[in-house]
Structures are given as structure tokens and as C-alpha cells.
Structure 1
Amino acid sequence: MQPKVTFESWQLKSDLQYGIYAHGVEYPSEIQQQLIPQILAGKNVICHNNCGTGKTTALAIAALQQIDENINDVQIIIITQHKELVCSTNAVVTSIGQRMHLKSQNTEKLQKLNITVGTPISILNMLTKDINICNDIKTIMIDDIDEILERGFNQQLDQIMSSVPKSTQLVLVCKNMSEAILKKVIDPVIVEQK
């Protein structure tokens, strides 16, 4: 029997580890074990999985680990398909990052934040209002990209991706893989639920 993978094995920030356990997560789920190390290694990732597997928590953990707390600007953008998911994703980020010195909020209040969670429209509006905000963006994470594309936001996603540096890491999460999703990312690592 293999030993259980723990969050300590990834050498996460101590305040982040505290937040993970305070959030009620003891061990990483199967998808978290596959997804988090790939994101932390700086790879472009497409995660193909089902609901309820811990993907939102995985995105939050990876985003929080990547943050440089000495930089006050947006470093991570998480895009979800509607306002309810913006609020729930932001709640997970805030809960897990509770002891970290960062700012995270949805785009309803446009501030200089380390992590910004929003819909394609709100993120695009934020980037268009302040083009300098793009300078420190390390990663864009798009949750349920298949559903976002089905809702007709392909053009907005393309505009967002063309606004950030080419070196920006892309993490796409979907339930249904498609050619359109594969075309969004250069040389992705594919993570699938077994």
C-alpha cells in the first residue's frame, strides 16, 4: 500500500497549509494530487474531470502558493461562468488564504488584488480599464471552460488571453474536452480523473 500524499509533500507556504486544514481538507483528492504539482511546476494544464472532485480547491491552493505577497497587483486571474460561481470560488480562495497577507475578491469591486475571480465579461472590463494591471499576471485559470465556450464567450476569452504576457500560464478545467479547448493552450499537460 502506497503512503498517502500529504499537502506537506509539496512544501507549501505554512500559512497556506494552515488555511487548507482550517478549510477542512486533510489530504489532497486524486485530482488535486495530479493537478496541483503541474500548476506549481509552471506548466500549461488542461484538467478534464467531473464535479465534486476538489478542482476549485486545487485551483485555490495553486493560486495562493504562486502569489508573491510583496507585489500588490493582480497575479492570478480565475475565470468562472457566472456570478454565483465567482462568489463561491472567491469564498474558497478567501477561506484557504485566510492567514496570508493578500487581497482576493470578485470583480464587483475593482481593486488592485493579488487574485481576481470573475466572469469573462468582468475580467475583460477590468483589463480594458487598466492595461497596466496585466504586467504581473502569472496565471489565468478558467474553470468550466467548456461551459463558458458553450455560452458564447470565446471572443472574450481570446481578448483576455491576448491582453496578458505570452509567458502567462494557462490552466483550463473542463468536464467535456473539445478541439476548441485544446487550441487555447500551447503544449498542455492533460490531467484526467482516473
Structure 2
Amino acid sequence: MARWEPDARLRLVRAAVELYAEQGYEATTVAQVAERAGLTKATFFRHFPDKREVLFAGQEQHATLLADGAAAAPDAASPLEAVAAALDHTTASFPPEQRDFGPRLRAIVGSTDELRERAAFKRAHLIAALTDALHRRGIPDPTATLAAELGVEAFHRAYDRWSDGGGPSFGDLARAELQALHAAATALH
């Protein structure tokens, strides 16, 4: 094996998703994932601390994109408009070639308590990052937290629809989901 391989991180993610879908998460080892990717076990651990984290590879990128998008919204933007800007900012992280990951990833994550727990932690991390960005815009709680929670729920609902082949872009779906959630929240009164 070469000492350095291009796109090692993405290759490890793809290999893990394939193997976890084929033989189950718990039955798959890090060594098998590395071998499938054509890399070493040491290379795996340079990118991920354990076999669980390979499934959540984009978490930090998504948290950063959401926060940066909210920060870049116009000064006069409402909290929901800032969240919409945050969602728009994440669109580039969902290229069309990654659509096929979604259904398999959801099935794998849904297969064990450990992965469902990690997914819940990821959701909380995204909400915290977006809430912090809204606080920096001067939006107080509970408005900032509620807007962030709506945004992250829209993010996940859009991802599910996008990876199932719905809609032309993640951004369009995310905005539509945010509008639908806002309408549902408004109907609660």
C-alpha cells in the first residue's frame, strides 16, 4: 500500500458504509474498513478515532457551515432568515454523488443504540453551533434555541428527502422544510 493516498478520508467513509451495510456495524472491524479502502489501519486512525465516527465524518464541517451561514446573513435578517442563510450555506457539502449514502447511512445508524445515541449527539452539536451563531447576532433565548432547533430539524428532514432522490438540491429542500416547520409551529397557537 502506498504511504499516502488521495481522498483517503472519503474512501474510508465509503468502505465503512459498504461493509456496515453488507455485514453489519458490529461485525465489521476497522481493519476490514481500511483494507476495503486500500489503506492501512494506521491511516484509518489518523482520520477517525473509532469505527463509529467514520459514519459522522461531516459533523464538524456541517456545524461550521451552519454557524458561518448564520453569521453571514444580512444584519436585518430575522432569526428564521438567518437560519435559512445557514441552511443555504451547507448546500455545497451535499454534492449529487453523495446522494446514495443517505438511505444506507440511515439504515446503519438505525441498527444500533450506540449509533442512534451518536446521531442524537450530532444533532445536539449542530443545534448548539447554530444557537451560538444566533446569540452572536444578538438573538436572545429562547428564540435563538428554537430557531436553531427548527433549522437543524429542517436540515435532517431535507437530507432524508435529498438522499431519497427528492428535489434538485439540498438547499431547495432545506428551505422548503424550514418553511413547513415554521408553518407548523405557527399553527400551534
* Class of the TM-score when normalised by the shorter of the 2 chains: under 0.3
- Higher Cα Rg, which structure: 2
TM-score, normalised by the number of residues in structure 2: 0.28
The structure whose residues are more often strand, as a share, is 1
TM-score, normalised by the number of residues in structure 1: 0.27
